[in-house]
Structures are given as C-alpha cells and as structure tokens.
Amino acid sequence: MTRRAVFLDRDGVINRARVVEGRPYPPRALAELEILPGVAETLQGLRDAGFLLIVATNQPDVARGAILRAEVDAINARLMELLALDDIRVCFHDSADGCECRKPRSGLLTDAARDYAIDLARSFMVGDRWRDIEAGRRAGCTTLFIDYGYAEKRPEHYDYTVKSLPEASRIILNRSDLKRESK
C-alpha cells in the first residue's frame, strides 16, 4: 500500500527565514533557529491525519563555504527533536553542480517516495519559493505556495497560494479526494 506525504521546504515554511533586501536566507547557526507560530501543532495534525512529513531543503551555503555542514545537521537534528517530522532530505549542492536532488529538480521527493512507498499523486509540496513549487510539480504533487512577497522570481504554476503552513494544512486536510483511508 502506498502512503501519502506532505513535503515541506524548511526555511520560511517551518522555521523563520532571515529576509535581507526582500530575499530569504536560512539561519546561520542553531542559535538563530526559530520555529514559526503554529507549525508544531499543524505538523502534529497532519501526522494524526496519516501523512508522512518530509522536509526537502536546499542548503547550497554549505557548497559555497558560508556555513558548515555540521551546523546544518545540528539545525535539522533540533527540528527532528521538536517537531513531528519523519525525515529531512537535504541537497548541499550549488546550482552549478547539476545534481538531481537540488530543487527545482524533484530528486529529493522522488527518492523519498521510493524509500517510503509514497504515492506522489496523492501527496503535497509546501514551499515559499519557486524552486520548491517546481520540484513538487515535477514530482506530480499538489503544490501549495506560501506567498511572502519576496523580491525574487515567483513560481509560474501552483495549485494553491496561502499565507502560512497552518493555512496550507487546512486545504490539505479538506481535500475530499484524499481523505484518510480506513485501516
């Protein structure tokens, strides 16, 4: 039996992104990590509804030498401790590396789908940047764009636009065609 998942970008979706000149950036250290309001409760509600919760995040600052991988790993470990997450998938590459895991490519999602027997057509991608939404679209997921009005490229195609993860969750949970299966 295949499972349903909610894929989540990390920075700007579950934790606060630093916004500099209208552009979002990840926390630079564990001490800067701040989980956004309502996220813990929202994730627990999605888990209770039967969804796997998998973070899919690009962290190119590691390849660029701006942050140590150990710091990113510490942030991710803290998120796993505090939140109802099943996994965190990370691409540490920069755009020039041409890897399949860097969003907007769908490798992080398709690899997780293989490992967890996820039905991508019955799953969701929630993100705050065009790369997140495009990765979800390429994987065949329903996409929810958290629109913070960043001063950067916007996604061209998405299924829903929302203002927060709790709002995205209400849409996900109300999709009548994806109600929880009886066991």
Q: Count CB neighbours of 97 within 10 A.
A: 12
CA distance 134 to 32: 28
CA distance 162 to 22: 18
CA distance 95 to 106: 14
Strand partners, 90: 57
Strands 5-8 and 124-127: parallel
Our answer to whether residue 11 is catalytic in this structure is yes
Question: One of 11, 61, 128, 132 is an active-site residue; which one?
Answer: 11
Question: How many H-runs (helices) and E-runs (strands) does the chain carry?
Answer: 5, 8
CA distance 10 to 34: 11
Our answer to whether residue 9 is catalytic in this structure is yes
Question: One of 9, 61, 128, 132 is an active-site residue; which one?
Answer: 9
CA distance 161 to 109: 20
Q: Determine the residue type at 183.
A: K
Q: For residue 131, what are its two tokens?
A: 């790369």
Residues belonging to the active site? 9, 11
